[in-house]
Amino acid sequence: MIKFADVTFHYPQGIRAVENLSLHINAGEKCAIIGNNGSGKTTFALLAKGLLKAESGRIEIDRLNPAETADGRALKRKIGLVFQNPDNQLVASTVEREIAFTLENLNMPRPEMKERVGEMLRLFNLEEKRERLTSQLSGGEKQKLALASVMAAAPEILILDEPGSFLDEAGKRLLHEALTRLLQVHPLLTVVRITQYSYIAEQYPRLIVLSKGKVLFSGPPGEAFSNPALCREAGIETPLRYRLRGDTFKTVKKGNSSSINDFPVRQIRVKDLQFAYPNGSAGTRLFCGESLAVDNRSVCGLVGPSGSGKSTLIQLMAKLLKPDRGKILYAGFDSENPRLAVSFQHPERQFFLETVEKEIRFGAENFGLTEIDRIAEDCYRMVGLERASFYNRDPFSLSGGEKRRLAFAAILSMKPSHIFFDEPTSGLDAEGIGHFRCLVKTLKEQGVGVLIISHYGNIVFDLCERIITLKQGRIESNLSREEFFRNAAYHSFLSPPELITFQLQEWGEIRRFDETGVKEELGL
């Protein structure tokens, strides 16, 4: 049982996280918590685990208070918390030692520890990877290991904080299978799934919607998603089937194609590319003579399984890595050193200054641009951050979604000619994803080249006009959006777009590539 009664917590500088938060989750219940960035979801998890202490109010976990030292020790085994990024949670060198590490901290006798480690390896299908280095695991395998390590302590409550954000579809399937197997063995386990994604929240019997640190709704997911006003207030995405029949229906306007001729065409061409990381074997070579070209006339998507070389390719194209052989050629750019920018998968790795304002201004100042105040103001606006509220914040105090928006703003201030976005919507709420969609359209209209790496099918479907597929360091295909979604086998690494899934279920075929067209087909 988890009980919060009028709980309040603020981060430094008075930043509100939860405000008089009250909720109750029963033992054995399976529920999802959803809300926009900064709504208090992760703070709830940290308070429940005892990693943060409430300023006021009371928290009870099976009648224990995590703020009390003695109770906190007892709760270490009672609550398991799996974080969004497994790299922030794994500490040991091998799979087996990672699971054992949790039990060592609990002073478990060695015979019992050995038995428990073996049990977890079997439960999560990790026996064959027992001696594998954790650094060599895929994203899905790392998240499975993080879950196995947490469950080794036999917790009664499991809190999952966006565990699938950085996973491709294969990784998400691994995680889903692991959770399914876990609940078959431990059906009375209390599960709290924190998520930004409505399609995940729908899988749970109960949905708790947080907004501004308070509970806005608690009940069946369908009841929440059928309420357009509630979804708008909470800033959460409404699943397609509710949008089609409700007044939350929105369509993404396409950019004005006539603007293509208003800017110079800039092309990045990869020719006979070969690359391998230092100390890698022949089997780890990513590219062996690959060639392709992208330009600023169309938004390009780069998709493929985890480990296929997507992030490496954009770093090569952006001159952050040097190819072993072959060339990266730039045509139509203003100089021999084109201004290229990469928005990395983990935005916090890009920050190094004390405040949000300094991070945003740095690019413009470093390139000696003029009207820096106006540039900074435009950057805040384009990513949906209110300058007055954020300018003096420590970047590392922001929520995950706010950090990602800041990362966008920081590279926009450089006025780049081409931007490479690596998993740009991970951690973003519905409002943030909406801002990203608008940002991409604006950049295209301004003549800025855009390439997007994503495992999120809706974003690739909505924004990308050409889609390049990488597999094991080789370019498997380079197709138009319609060709790709009609013909490519993408389900192992890209989530099916809602509009595609809906049409296949409704008609058994793909008839339209926009929501307006689907509504017309339905006679709505």
* Residue-wise pLDDT tens digits, 287-310: 888 899 999 999 999 999 888 899
Dist CA 155 CA 463 (whole Å): 42
With cut-offs at 50, 70 and 90, classify the pLDDT of residue 173: confident
With cut-offs at 50, 70 and 90, classify the pLDDT of residue 256: very low
The model's pTM is 0.84
**pLDDT exceeds cutoff 80 at 249:** no
Name the architecture of domain 2-245: 3-Layer(aba) Sandwich (3.40)
With cut-offs at 50, 70 and 90, classify the pLDDT of residue 488: very high
Dist CA 236 CA 127 (whole Å): 39
3-state secondary structure 232-289: HHHCCCCCHHHHHHCCCCCCCCCCCHHHHHHCCCCEEEEEEEEECCCCCCHHHCCEEE
Dist CA 90 CA 433 (whole Å): 29
| Higher-scoring residue by pLDDT: 86, 262 | 86
Identify which of 457, 35, 462 has the alpha carbon closest to the alpha carbon of residue 237. 35
pLDDT for residue 284: 60
pLDDT for residue 254: 42
pLDDT for residue 243: 86
Is-contact 338 414, C-beta < 8 A?
no
Helix 139-151 with 169-185: angle, nearest 10 deg = 20
pLDDT for residue 280: 53
pLDDT for residue 141: 85
For CA atoms 286, 90, 118, 131, the dihedral sign is positive
Kindly state the percentage of the chain with pLDDT values over 90.
Answer: 61
Identify which of 337, 477, 360, 368 has the alpha carbon closest to the alpha carbon of residue 413. 360
Predicted confidence (pLDDT) per residue in 184-200, tens digit: 988 999 999 999 888 88
Is-contact 63 141, C-beta < 8 A?
no
pLDDT for residue 160: 94
pLDDT for residue 252: 40
- The 3-state DSSP class for residue 227 equals coil
Mean pLDDT of 207-236: 94
- CATH 3.40.50.300 residue spans of the chain: 2-245, 257-495
pLDDT for residue 76: 78
Dist CA 480 CA 478 (whole Å): 7
Q: Which amino acid is at 343?
A: S
Kindly state the percentage of the chain with pLDDT values over 70.
Answer: 95
Predicted confidence (pLDDT) per residue in 391-405, tens digit: 999 998 888 888 999
- The 3-state DSSP class for residue 479 equals strand
pLDDT for residue 15: 79
| Higher-scoring residue by pLDDT: 218, 15 | 218
Mean pLDDT of 341-351: 87
**pLDDT exceeds cutoff 70 at 282:** no
| Higher-scoring residue by pLDDT: 350, 486 | 486
With cut-offs at 50, 70 and 90, classify the pLDDT of residue 281: very low
pLDDT for residue 253: 42
| Higher-scoring residue by pLDDT: 314, 169 | 314
Predicted confidence (pLDDT) per residue in 421-460, tens digit: 999 998 788 888 988 999 999 999 999 999 999 999 999 9
Mean pLDDT of 314-318: 94
Mean pLDDT of the chain: 89
Identify which of 286, 290, 268 has the alpha carbon closest to the alpha carbon of residue 420. 268
Q: Which amino acid is at 44?
A: F
Dist CA 206 CA 489 (whole Å): 34
Other beta carbons within 10 Å of 359: 21
Name the architecture of domain 257-495: 3-Layer(aba) Sandwich (3.40)
User: What are the backbone dihedrals phi and psi of residue 120, each rounded to the nearest 5 degrees, phi first?
Assistant: -70, -40
Q: Count how many residues are written for the chain.
A: 524
With cut-offs at 50, 70 and 90, classify the pLDDT of residue 246: low
Both tokens of residue 434? 């909406």
**pLDDT exceeds cutoff 90 at 28:** yes
Q: Which of 88-97, 250-259, 446-455 has the lowest mean pLDDT?
A: 250-259
Dist CA 146 CA 450 (whole Å): 34
